[in-house]
Amino acid sequence: TALVVLFILFTTAGNLLTICVIVKSKRLRSISNIYLASLACADMVVGSFVMIFMLLFTVSHDNIWVFGDALCRIWTFVDFTCCSASLTNVCLIARDRYRTVSQPLKSIRKRTKKGAMYRILLAWAIPLIFWATAISLLAVADDSPNSNSCEVKWNPTFIVLIATLAMMYLPIAAILVLFGAMMTFLHNHMTSMNFDLQRTESVRRQQSFASVMSEDATSEKSGGISFNPKCSIEATHPAERQNSVEKSRLKQQVSAAKTLGIIMGFLLLCWIPYSILCPLKAYWPDAIPRSAYQASIWVNYMNSAINPIIYCLCNPQFRHAYAQLL
């Protein structure tokens, strides 16, 4: 129990710290980090509200819910909404990364903070409306012998399949598609850039050889030595400078892609157990041990605690901002 309490405190504090550094640091107040702040908000609510009641419910004798039906529904609604909003916000991050990588010029023109706020509003509105409707209309009271349990039952039961598909599998599939498309584009771009670098180097060598031959011919005619390195340097300098800028931009894109890949990897690890057991338990409740189901929920919650660690390890700007704030 003490470890779980520390886990809850770490989740809440880590995500609150992430929000604070993005708000306070001008360098971190970018459009990409606005999406990260929205994700941190969802994860912070999971840590500060959802996990607390889940802990009380888990450690209670025979999983008795003592807070009444109204708070049970509120807790369930906040739990499902924030966990789903976490997925939809990762979708926004993946979309933003993909557009920045694949369409940099178009992305610069169309990426505005106002547009980002509209997308974040949509990312929260979709799960909020979905779960508010589902819980208010389709969730039924538990009529089992242990009537004090706070476990959602659906009528009809197949609604859990729709909810799992719409709020879990589709966002995860969208994240995978966007990440795959971004990595494919980066791979092709790197291959093309390496080819361009080789071609530029070949042209530079040819120009250098031609310049040397020309100087030799001039020297033989004039009987002296005349060499103008400025011509050779100016002929190749713009291409080399452009390649240097391109390599720097590509390095930043690859770093952002790696960060997204790590976020996505941990997201899959944390969500897969629950996304499998949730529909199974709806149809065969006795076949899934309660301990295994609750363990899958806690593994799901772990995703909310991991994200701040990823930002700190993968982004030097976040590390510096964390250190300054602390």
What is the per-residue pLDDT across 81-130, written as a single tens digit (0 to 9) for each?
Answer: 999 999 999 999 999 888 888 877 666 677 788 999 999 999 999 999 99
Over range 38-55, report the average pLDDT: 94
CATH number for the domain that contains residue 162: 1.20.1070.10
pLDDT of 236 higher than 60: no
Beta-carbon contacts of 59 under 8 Å, excluding residues fewer than 6 positions away, are 1
pLDDT of 202 higher than 60: no
Over range 241-253, report the average pLDDT: 62
Over range 25-39, report the average pLDDT: 90
Is residue 314 within 8 A of residue 24, CB to CB? The reply is no
What is the per-residue pLDDT across 203-232, written as a single tens digit (0 to 9) for each?
Answer: 555 555 455 455 555 555 555 544 444 444
pLDDT of 198 higher than 90: no
d(CA 92, CA 117): 11
User: What's 61's DSSP letter?
Assistant: G
Helix axes of 170-222 and 229-283: crossing angle, nearest 10 degrees: 170
> What's the confidence (pLDDT) of residue 261?
83
Q: Give the CA angle between residues 283, 288, 55 to the nearest 5°.
A: 110
Closest CA to 35 of 79, 128, 99: 99
Q: Which is higher by pLDDT, 107 or 201?
A: 107
% of the chain residues with pLDDT over 70? 76
Q: Give the CA angle between residues 198, 191, 265 to the nearest 5°.
A: 145
Over range 174-199, report the average pLDDT: 75
pLDDT of 11 higher than 90: yes
> What's the confidence (pLDDT) of residue 229?
46
What is the b/e burial string over 138-165, where b = at least 16 CB atoms within 10 angstroms of the residue's CB?
bbeebeeeeebbbbbbbeeeeebbebbe
Token duo for residue 112: 């505005």
Is residue 65 within 8 A of residue 57, CB to CB? The reply is yes
Beta-carbon contacts of 39 under 8 Å, excluding residues fewer than 6 positions away, are 86, 89, 90, 93, 307
Type of residue at 324: Q
Count of domains forming the chain: 1
Instruction: Say what the pTM is.
Output: 0.81
Structural domain of 12? 2-325
